[in-house]
Amino acid sequence: MAAVASRAAGILRLRAAGAERRWCGPRCAGLVQGFLQPGGEDAAQKRRVAHFTFQPDPESLQYGQTQKMNLFQSITSALDNSLAKDPTAVIFGEDVAFGGVFRCTVGLRDKYGKDRVFNTPLCEQGIVGFGIGIAVTGATAIAEIQFADYIFPAFDQIVNEAAKYRYRSGDLFNCGSLTIRAPWGCVGHGALYHSQSPEAFFAHCPGIKVVIPRSPFQAKGLLLSCIEDKNPCIFFEPKILYRAAVEQVPVEPYKIPLSQAEVIQEGSDVTLVAWGTQVHVIREVASMAQEKLGVSCEIIDLRTIVPWDMDTVCKSVVKTGRLLISHEAPLTGGFASEISSTVQCKHVIDDFLEKAKLTFLSQEQCCLTTIKFAVVGIPNGVRKNVS
């Protein structure tokens, strides 16, 4: 009875907040209620009690007329642009037809029809598998996983099917027109199953790209780049920013290049690297460090996790001599370890040990299909740098 009462209370709260008369499932009821608040400064102030304050970037007129949007509205705008431009594009996932639990697809079914914006069963493996099939036919598939925490049932489809499709066909076939969207990260009241940051799980998988934006402007440009990229992409959306992040965003479509980090503040004493919401956290840290300690921080938003922009990061570390990396995911096995390892191997070893006899043995690729080429990326003995 307690469970029934709790479920009923959740439905009433959603209805009172203005949601449609429907039940979106136990996994999202309480969480969604917190996101059905109006956007703007009030929402930003509420989010401040979490762990950061959103800092908008200066308005860019490079892409024409702009409009004030929060992050979910900028994503809606990107999806709208894609559907308008590409008649093969379809959007699908749990509850996307009515607008999605975070309202990112609101109005798109009415505008483009139920054959292009539609619901799926609650089965993440099926959603991604369906998306792979659509992409293989040449259409543009935009799949939504309702929460990044629930992407794991689709792990096999992403890692063993989508990422390897091009490899196993010798580049004759691919599903590069597949983009997987998923709300991501901590919100402060999401608990175990609505707070995870699983980007590092996919960083070990050649064949896919992983992208995480920090703001509405970045989200629209990066999402459009993912949708038009020739490789399957996972686009994680910081859900705490859906309402809290508000800034001027171009109305017309534009793209931000993938795999290019952005130096959003130059400095000389230490390099700070982050992505998603943590960019705003380290911005606050940099401000405090400058004000209280006189420490000049260079801030880098990585933006694309895979493949990441090691040149920009390493160039900055050479200048500052220090590196701090911040992410929401657990420490062990987090992507910060990869960044730290790469920076140390490229510079500590190369510069201070005069290019010692050490190289990376494995390569960023799948094991190839023929015996002749299968050993190309596999360590097969001691390699020495004798140059």
Active site residues: 124, 194
- Crossing angle, helix 335-343 and helix 310-320, to 10 degrees? 60
Cα distance between residue 46 and residue 59, in whole Å = 24
Q: Which residues contact 247 (CB under 8 A, 6 or more apart)?
A: 56, 57, 59, 68, 69, 215, 216, 217
Query: Contact, 108 vs 76, CB < 8 A?
Result: yes
Return the structure tokens found at 234. Answer: 């996972």
- Residue 26 CA to residue 33 CA, distance in Å, equals 12
**Residue 134 near residue 179 (C-beta atoms within 8 A):** no
Query: What is the phi-psi region of residue 88: left when phi exceeds 0, alpha when psi lies from -120 to 50, beta otherwise?
Result: alpha
- Give the CA angle between residues 232, 202, 31 to the nearest 5°: 95
Concatenating the DSSP letter of every residue in 274-335 gives E-TTHHHHHHHHHHHIIIII---EEEEE--EEET--HHHHHHHHHHHS-EEE--SS-STT-H
Q: For residues 170 and 175, what is the distance between their CA atoms, to the nearest angstrom? A: 13
Number of other CB atoms surrounding residue 331 within 10 Å:
8
CB 210 within 8 A of CB 37: no
